[in-house]
Amino acid sequence: MKILILGGTTEARELANRLVADGHDVITSLAGRTRDPKLPQGGIRMGRFGGIPGLAAYLNAAGIEALVDATHPYAGQISVNAVAAAEASGVPLVRVMRPGWEPLPGQRWTIVDTLAEAALSLPTGAEVLLTTGHSGLGHFLERDDCHFIVRLIEPPEMELPSHAELLLSRPPYGVDGEIELMQRRSVTHLVTKNSGGGQTVGKLEAAHKLGVTVIMIGRPHYGPALEVASVDAAVDALGL
């Protein structure tokens, strides 16, 4: 089977490697935002498709038999485009969506719908560990009455103001390291997305232990697809 995987996650890489090992023709598409990404086996396509028409045209021209959206739960437009392009091309779509996190016993999150709402919910004087990625940074940096530790894998395109500092690092992050960071920097608020998975969950346990307030951006809704929660389930959904 010829399969296009919209990738960029651990699940996407594991799925591609497994399908290639089983003899399938796999192409993984990456947005190209991360320098030196960990590449899966099989073919690689870098860059954008050109919206819904471009993705639909690619699916047909390349003879793709199945489309797998294994992007980040907050990937945004590409996941929306995948639904429409699959419908337009007639190619079946499987979405791999890792389960979201749940509050720990006794823990309460402030759950918001948007980055802008999260920024507005911060009190004056907050010391914030910000782990929401590159998009929407401006909403937070406008809050010059707070201080931000902006944790990213890659440097942002914008220059950070004096009330924000950049912390470049890659997951996984353990609980002990997260506790040390939050204590050392007197963090009062953690702002994050409900990405799920085990590589970055340590920050939530650390916040719970230290009494740090968690502001959680809820997951978006991308439209109809055959949605599964694991690589094994994705293989089954593809009928392989």
Does residue 34 carry a pLDDT above 70? no
Q: Number of structural domains, the chain?
A: 2
pLDDT (tens digit per residue) in 133-183 = 998 999 999 999 999 999 999 999 899 999 999 999 999 999 999 999 999
Angle at which helix 175-184 crosses helix 202-210, to 10 degrees, equals 50
Residue 23 shares a structural domain with residue 70 = yes
| 42 and 94 in a common domain | yes
pLDDT at 31: 84
Q: What is the pLDDT of residues 100-146, one digit of tens each?
A: 999 988 888 999 999 999 999 999 999 999 999 998 999 999 999 99
The answer to whether residue 104 is domain-embedded is no
Q: What is the pLDDT of residue 106?
A: 86
CATH number of the domain enclosing 55: 3.40.50.2000
Q: What is the pLDDT of the chain when averaged over all its residues?
A: 94
| CA–CA separation, 94 and 231 (whole Å) | 11
State residue 230 phi and psi, 5-degree precision: -155, 165
End-to-end CA distance of the chain: 9
Domain hosting 164: range is 109-217
Residues 154 and 184 in one domain: yes
Confidence grade of residue 76 (pLDDT, cut at 50, 70, 90): confident
What's the mean pLDDT in 32-45? Answer: 83
Judge if 230 and 212 occupy the same domain.
no
Residues 77 and 136 in one domain: no
* CA 175 to chain CA mean position, Å: 20
**Helix (H) or strand (E) segment spanning residue 30:** strand 25-30
Instruction: Mark whether 207 and 232 lie in a shared domain.
Output: no
Residue by residue, what is the 3-state secondary structure of 44-84?
EEECCCCHHHHHHHHHHHCCCCEEEECCCCCCCHHHHHHHH
Q: Does 153 fall in a domain?
A: yes
Write down the pLDDT at residue 75: 87
Task: Check whether 37 has a pLDDT greater than 80.
Answer: no
Let me know whether 85 and 115 are in one domain. Answer: no
- pLDDT value for 33: 67
What is the C-alpha separation between 116 and 119, in angstroms, rounded? 5
**Does residue 131 share a domain with residue 67?**
no
Q: Are residues 165 and 69 in the same domain?
A: no
